Amino acid sequence: MPRRDRRGGPYDAFVPDHLTDLHLTLDGDVAADLADAERAITSLDAMAAALADTEGLARLLLRAESVASSRIEGLRISARRLLHEAAVHENDPAKRDPTAAEVLANVDAMAYALEDATGAVTRDRILEVHRRLLARSAHREFAGVLRTEQNWIGGNDFNPIGAAFIPPPPDFVPALVDDLCTFCNDDGLPAIAQAAIAHAQFETIHPFVDGNGRTGRALIYMVLRRRGLAIRTTPPISLALATHAKTYIDALMATRAVGPPSAALPALNRWIAIFAAACQRAVADAKAFEARIEALQADWVNRLGPARADASARRLLLHVPSMPILSVDDAAKMLGRGYWAANQAVARLVDAGILTPTTSSRRSRRFEALEVLDAFTALERQLASPEGDTRTSPPTRAVPTRPKRRSSRIPKSG
């Protein structure tokens, strides 16, 4: 590296105040935005309860959220390709595409984060989300482990001097994470404001070597579910945030105000308002997507023609949205029937134009529900970023193990 980049010197790391000491005053219009966002998420859950296959639609929205959260971090994969990779990897993990593997790990991490709808947010749960996220990545040795080195965002790979942001030194991290969990388990703030602040604080702490953004966005749903919101579905908030990636990162950075706690209040109100708007946008697009899937299922029933209510083909229709790319073996598992019955059901859906064979080989043949894939892709495109590169920040760096660590000056922070 150039001598200038290797030169040592002092740097400032940001140590946030504990959230348990936070006294937040919400602006009137921000409070109104929060109320609107909460009503929107509640109505999405109510709408989902009336749909034929809530679980299947929730799985699709979860995948959409994971695709967007990964895309924010520079991992680009289309929703369609992810569904193809998920279908192939189920039977042959050796053929796994590295980018798809990381995004699928994000799906697994998100699914775990949402398992306990009312449970407390704990350090162990956050560590397990992170462990699942990085379990098969190049950084698997750091999976589920709080960092023990200084890290930074932007700048060079040698030291934090000139970085865009330097999180707190590692000795501060365990106490800050525990304080964050205490805050997440309190009910003193509106749920959406609590989720917004928890996410901002998590990204400020940056407690892991890698995967902080994705884990921090999973934390959003842990908070919302504990507070009784987004129980049946997962509004793709990361899709909405990715749409305005620069606004998202700028708003987060602004909350890191140095000085008395009051210095951060205007920036916190702005960030909460942006987050509430993202929630409303996510709900609106999720509703449109679910309505399209519901209309598709109704059309499929008409196309299939007369059939007994318990016929395998009719039952398979209910599962197609959750697995729009499937094999006969997949159909047999979903139906709980033998291969012959599942093959007959799949053949009926092919005849009705609901499924389309993807290969000519009978041994490896898979079938696509093209209309579901088109709807899923449209959801992603609808929220495609108008700002070009959707990565919200430069890559996170960490102190290398060989060079001697430089001293740091830690300012009192707000």
Residue 159: alpha-carbon gap to chain centroid: 30
Fold classified for 8-289: Fic-like fold (1.10.3290)
**Bridge partners, residue 357, by sequence:** 367
Helix (H) or strand (E) holding 59: helix 54-72
CATH architecture of residue range(s) 305-381 = Orthogonal Bundle (1.10)
In 348-390, DSSP assigns E strands to 356-357, 367-368
Who's near 82: CB < 8 A, 6+ residues apart?
Answer: 63, 67, 100, 103, 104
How far apart CA 289 and CA 326 sit, in angstroms, is 21
Whether the domain at 8-289 and the domain at 305-381 fall into the same CATH topology: no
pTM of the model: 0.83
**Bridge partners, residue 195, by sequence:** none
Q: Cβ(393)–Cβ(406) under 8 Å?
A: no
**Both tokens of residue 146?**
């709080």
Give the domain ranges of the chain: 8-289, 305-381
Who's near 17: CB < 8 A, 6+ residues apart?
Answer: 261, 413, 414
pLDDT in tens, the chain (414 residues): 677 767 778 889 999 999 988 889 999 999 999 999 999 999 988 877 655 455 566 666 777 777 666 766 666 776 667 777 776 655 555 556 777 777 788 888 888 988 877 789 999 999 999 999 998 888 889 999 999 999 998 887 788 888 889 999 999 999 999 999 999 999 999 999 999 999 999 999 999 999 998 899 999 999 999 999 988 888 888 877 877 788 988 999 999 988 777 788 999 999 999 999 999 998 988 888 888 888 888 899 898 887 665 688 888 888 888 788 888 998 999 888 899 999 999 999 999 999 999 865 565 688 999 998 888 777 766 655 444 333 444 566 665 433 333 333 333 333
How far apart CA 332 and CA 246 sit, in angstroms, is 46
User: Among 238, 201, 244, 242, which Cα is nearest to 221's?
Assistant: 238
How far apart CA 65 and CA 99 sit, in angstroms, is 16
